[in-house]
């Protein structure tokens, strides 16, 4: 009898759209394992100071230690540096358009990826077996990563595409954070366009896909979670919501993501619209001009507040 494929809920989109919070919410559900941004797994693997979402060093986390032993036999049994090098070969905004053309996509990835898809498949199978979960939640967001996961033929993939006003994303990227240096408005807009184009073109047309806005997450998170569960055919009676604006979170074993992944306890959901008043008008104009088709598509106004 053939073994069941690994069921993955993939959170697609662009960073600073609430994906880390959403990942942690799903991680509270019975039968779900919140893995964080698995696209950065090998970077965390090689970083002695990397932290697991549970609050301990990644290399000391008992859950991930057991997963690594189950998948590869131990930390020294896999060439993590080679896996990280292969990931960097395709994980760049310039590579995203390749996925739009099937011929070039197959040629490029067959040449570049080598053993990477099979190695990731072993890792996801180990997560499922060690934790006993039915669904692995991956909030990598990168539009190419799901294609890599399906190359080994074992990923039962469902895509939850979370979108946010690109001007809010650009404003958030301009802030200093522990996860990445500040990014300019033009870079943010181009990255947004590339990511949304691939996600909408490749994944939205394959079924097992739903798209929701950041505002939906903040205003009615229960409905968003239930929509995703319905897409996957999962029925969960107990959801981690105190009421419509507050959720109760326990620590998850996320490998990477926004520093908010370390938050636990009662969390108050609040719309972050600071960008409308504090973002420089020039930056708003740049992002609006570069992303206006998606602004219209996602029902965001072209003329927000101008400082």
pLDDT class for 2, splitting at 50, 70, 90? very low
pLDDT of residue 22: 95
* Residue-wise DSSP of 4-52: PPEEEEEEEE-SSSSHHHHHHHHHTSTTEEEEE-GGGHHHHHH-TT-B-
According to DSSP, the β-strands at 246-249 and 265-268 are antiparallel
Q: Is residue 53 part of a domain?
A: yes
Q: For residue 1, name the pLDDT band (cuts at 50, 70, 90).
A: very low
Within-domain flag for 122: yes
Report yes or no on 159 lying in a domain.
yes
In this prediction, residue 177 has a pLDDT band, given cuts at 50, 70 and 90, of low
247 lies in a domain? yes
Reduced to 3 states (helix: H, G, I; strand: E, B; else coil), residue 137 is strand
Residues 6+ apart with CB under 8 A from 289: none
Answer yes or no: is 235 within a domain.
yes
* pLDDT tens track for 273-283: 999 999 999 99
Place of tokens 């009898």: 1
* Residue 238 within any structural domain of the chain: yes
Residues 68 and 102: their CA atoms lie apart, in Å, by 33
38 belongs to a structural domain: yes
In a domain, 46, yes or no: yes
Picking from 37-51, 133-147, 234-248, which range would have the lowest pLDDT averaged per residue? 234-248
CATH number at residue 75: 3.40.50.300
| Number of domains forming the structure of the chain | 1
User: What residues does 211 pair with on adjacent strands?
Assistant: 161
pLDDT in tens, 5-28: 889 999 999 989 999 999 999 999
- Which domain does 94 fall in, by range? 6-271
């Amino acid at each position: 009898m053939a073994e069941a494929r690994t069921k993955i809920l993939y959170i697609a989109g662009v960073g600073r759209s609430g994906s880390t919070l959403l990942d942690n919410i799903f991680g509270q559900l019975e039968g779900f394992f919140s893995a964080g941004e698995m696209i950065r797994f090998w970077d965390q693997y090689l970083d002695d100071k990397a932290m697991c979402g549970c609050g301990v060093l990644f290399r000391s986390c008992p859950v991930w230690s057991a997963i690594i032993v189950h998948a590869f036999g131990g930390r020294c049994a896999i060439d993590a540096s080679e896996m990280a090098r292969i990931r960097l070969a395709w994980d760049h905004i310039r590579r995203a358009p390749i996925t739009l053309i099937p011929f070039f996509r197959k040629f490029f990835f067959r040449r570049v990826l080598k053993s990477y898809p099979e190695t990731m498949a072993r890792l996801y199978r180990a997560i499922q077996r060690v934790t006993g979960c039915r669904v692995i939640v991956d909030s990598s967001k990168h539009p190419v990563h799901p294609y890599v996961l399906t190359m080994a033929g074992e990923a039962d993939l469902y895509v939850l595409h979370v979108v946010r006003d690109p001007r809010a994303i650009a404003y958030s990227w301009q802030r200093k954070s522990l996860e990445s240096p500040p990014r300019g408005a033009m870079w943010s807009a181009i990255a947004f366009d590339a990511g949304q184009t691939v996600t909408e073109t490749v994944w939205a047309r394959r079924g097992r896909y739903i798209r929701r806005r950041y505002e939906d997450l903040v205003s009615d998170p229960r409905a968003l979670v239930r929509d995703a569960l319905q897409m996957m055919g999962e029925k969960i009676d107990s959801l981690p919501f105190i009421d419509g604006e507050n959720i109760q979170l326990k620590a998850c074993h996320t490998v990477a993501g926004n520093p908010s992944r370390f938050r636990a306890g009662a969390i108050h959901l609040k719309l972050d619209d600071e960008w409308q008043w504090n973002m420089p008008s020039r930056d708003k104009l740049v992002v609006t001009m570069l992303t206006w088709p998606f602004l219209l598509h996602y029902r965001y106004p072209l003329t927000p507040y101008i400082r």
